[in-house]
Structure 1
Amino acid sequence: MRITGYRTATTVHDWGRPIGDANGAVDSGRTSVPVVIVTTDVGLEGIGLGSYDGIDTVFPALDGQDPRAVVALYDRMLAWVFKRGHAGAVFGAIGALDMALWDLKAKAVEQPLWRLLGARDHVVPAYASGLDGPLADEELARLHKRFAERGLQAVKVKGGLDVAADLRRLGLVAELYRDITGQTPALMLDANEAWSRKEAVRHIQRIEEHVDLAWVEEPVRRWDVDGLALVTQSVKAAIATGENLTGLEQFRPLVAGNAVDIVQTGSVWGITHFLRVAALAHAFDLPISPVGYNVNPLAHAAAVVPNHLSIEIQDLAAPIGITADQEVADGHLVLGESPGLGYTVDEDAIARLGDAAGWGDNAGPHVRPDRAGRRLVGKPAIRPRDQV
């Protein structure tokens, strides 16, 4: 079996609500989902989700190769761009291709990827999240009611701009989950790098006077080893970070500096990246928790690593034109028996979409606000729609 080419498409995920965090919002609730399909000379095709920016630069490393040599091909892609740099969008393209190669490898032996990787079970612990920064309280409750009804017993809330608002929202979801599941949920707060070091300590300590937080995510900048170490030493909650780091070389200083309690990886960086970071974390007795993405592509790999804690579930629906053999039930993500990642892509349905959605451009959560890390008084960057 040899790789013969690839094609790309961009579909849309309709969240049915505004989404965002401390940095901004996508008011339309519609975001683009890039898709990469790798083709072979035997007719099998592999599906990868994530950015394909720069894919023309990376793909020659794969052209004509046997896709079953996934790990070797991952290193070949990194080597192919080592002077151009493999961070950012290029690392995303490597991740999407890597995902497609793992999909192909499992399809070639007609097994779900979780089984090929050596997992004993296909049931993966999960927690609820919803990119819920711009939601008013009523919308927040409506969103998390759906998660709680699936039995999820841990929940992450976006925040970081206002202590009173964070306490109110954390209290709201805690009460809702208790009412539905009968248990007090584990609570997490995600600040998305909104604070300076002392802003983080001050904000978290004030919340911890009232709420037992399981973890706080990305309290300061992703590369700030000293800052993250200061925060984790100053608060009771665990500190989680890593979703925006690319490559083991970026994780090593955090682990060596005791600056992270829960290691995270972004789904869009691929499966091999996740497996390697998980092994690094495991060597230091640290748990790993994959950050969510459309139809949870890291779930198969999470099922096999010994230090997996919980995978983030951002939505219960799939992007337009994509189906996935998985479900959220009894507080877990349950993977099916379909070969590979269990995805199917309806390219005709995607082609009929016309213009794809974006991430909100300058107002979206991928643009850092001017005053991030320099706020004397918290000021919401996102106003709930009922206050606009």
Structure 2
Amino acid sequence: MTDSFTIRSVEAFCYRYPLATPVVTSFGKMLNRPAVFVRVIDEDGVEGWGEAWSNFPAPGAEHRSRLINEVLAPGLVGRKFDGPAEAFEALTEGTEVLALQCGEPGPFAQAIAGIDLALWDIAARRQRLPLWRLLGGRSSKIKVYASGINPGGAARTAEAALARGHRALKLKVGFGAETDLANLTALRAIAGAGMLAADANQGWSVVQALEMLPRLADFDLRWLEEPIRADRPREEWRKLRAGATMPIAAGENISSAEGFRQVLAEDVLGVVQPDIAKWGGLSVCAPLARDILKAGKTFCPHYLGGGLGLLASAHLLAGAGGDGWLEVDANDNPLRDLLCGPVLNVREGTVELDQAPGLGIVPDLSSIERYRSI
């Protein structure tokens, strides 16, 4: 086999898992957990898997799935590419006008990212290498942290995460100072001297964030994530950086190469968090991860979705190296747990990836068939 391949088929599968307890953020609730998994098969029969970000809005997963199956797949089948990056560029450039015409650059970027992850899985399988090694990794072990800790029952969720092997936690904040500070106090006690971070999910104005910063200083936060909207002027972000005793983190809502160039060139973000299923796939985010580390910042891949995107994010972190953590959602989700392979096995705050080619797993979709949406 060579590095070039011809695509035989592209198919997206859409699922929804109903939640007994909603996942809560400062901007809204998730009443169920969606997932859009992508399978690509080349002409040699090599099969690769990816995932497209689809959390919001509520019907977003079905939309991304149909974008892949009805718009993107027909333009790929039968085409030969010299590697995933060439296919990514062809898809992106080929749909730019359409994405502008319908005002949907985000959904197109997410659908393309899902296909890109599957193509990288194929590329690694063709070379009989684990994906993390193809991406330049030297060690299969990575650090992880438990995220998605809701304001309600935060201590209980945190204790359960530690019982599963986690040693690092991230709390959702932005629900009023009284609630936020009480939860941070509880989690700092539970975590001891371990890693604790907070995520405001763009929930504050710069004035509110500046008022909170002194009150957060006592918790020894590893970072404060998205305290203000991602699109606020850089001057507001610089004000936050000047007033913060902890690193500022962001990146999941930066969706352009220029946006990342800007934050890497300035001393505002200490932690940078691109999401490979949301924008850029591995074709863009693998070199970006190396640029983040060269800029002296911490690379922590953002992720909140199903198991295949989580597993691909783990491979990217192992491939890039550095001292960052992989985000692992602490909330109930079989669409994650049944398909994330070794990421489910957290020991003393770390995960060990497999030596098998590609992502290391072929997902058993029959195990989640009852959650199929379309």
Q: TM-score range by the shorter chain?
A: 0.7 to 0.9
Matched positions, count: 344
Asked if 1:220 corresponds to 2:238, the answer is no
TM-score, length-scaled by structure 2: 0.84
What is the aligned counterpart of 2:114 among 96, 112, 131?
Answer: 96
**In the TM superposition, what are the counterparts of 1:297-336 in structure 2 within 5 Å?**
297-315=312-330, 318-319=334-335, 322-326=338-342, 327-336=345-354
Name the SS for the 1:262 alignment partner. strand
Asked if 1:18 corresponds to 2:9, the answer is no
Deviations 1:335-387 (A, max 9, x none): 1233211333333444443547xxxxxxxxxxxxxxxxxxxxxxxxxxxxxxx
Shift of residue 318 of structure 1? 4.0
Moved more, 32-41 or 251-260: 251-260
- Retained in 2: the 8 A contact 1:163–1:207? no
Cα 1:19–1:317 shift into 2, 3 Å: closer
Shift of residue 98 of structure 1? 0.6
Query: In the alignment, residue 8 of structure 2 is paired with which amino acid?
Result: T
Asked if 1:263 corresponds to 2:263, the answer is no
- Retained in 2: the 8 A contact 1:68–1:105? no
Moved more, 194-203 or 255-264: 255-264
Asked if 1:246 corresponds to 2:255, the answer is yes
Distance 2:82 2:282 in 1: 14
Distance 1:60 1:281 in 2: 35
Distance 2:367 2:81 in 1: 27
Q: Structure 1: where are the runs of 5+ without partners? A: 179-183, 357-388
- Retained in 2: the 8 A contact 1:68–1:102? no
Query: In the alignment, residue 266 of structure 1 is paired with which amino acid?
Result: D
Deviations 1:215-243 (A, max 9, x none): 11001111222211110111111100011
Name the SS for the 1:214 alignment partner. coil
Name the SS for the 1:96 alignment partner. helix
Instruction: Specify the alignment match of 2:293 in structure 1.
Output: 282
Name the SS for the 2:35 alignment partner. strand
Name the % identity.
Answer: 26
Query: In the alignment, residue 39 of structure 2 is paired with which amino acid?
Result: I
Deviations 1:49-102 (A, max 9, x none): 114353344445533334661122222222212333583111101110110001
- Please give the root-mean-square deviation of Cα atoms over the aligned residues, in Å: 2.4
Instruction: Specify the alignment match of 1:342 in structure 2.
Output: 360
Cα 1:66–1:108 shift into 2, 3 Å: farther
Distance 1:318 1:242 in 2: 26
Distance 2:11 2:277 in 1: 18
Distance 2:79 2:71 in 1: 16
Asked if 1:200 corresponds to 2:209, the answer is yes
Moved more, 212-221 or 10-19: 10-19
- Retained in 2: the 8 A contact 1:321–1:350? no
- Retained in 1: the 8 A contact 2:149–2:170? no
Query: In the alignment, residue 290 of structure 1 is paired with which amino acid?
Result: P
Shift of residue 116 of structure 1? 2.2
Cα 1:274–1:14 shift into 2, 3 Å: farther
Instruction: Specify the alignment match of 1:47 in structure 2.
Output: 49
Cα 1:164–1:134 shift into 2, 3 Å: closer
- Retained in 2: the 8 A contact 1:25–1:134? no
Greater helix fraction, Structure 1 or Structure 2: 2
Distance 2:155 2:337 in 1: 28
Query: In the alignment, residue 352 of structure 2 is paired with which amino acid?
Result: V
Asked if 1:6 corresponds to 2:17, the answer is no
Q: Structure 2: where are the runs of 5+ without partners? A: 54-63
Query: In the alignment, residue 276 of structure 1 is paired with which amino acid?
Result: P
What is the aligned counterpart of 1:71 among 66, 71, 85?
Answer: 85
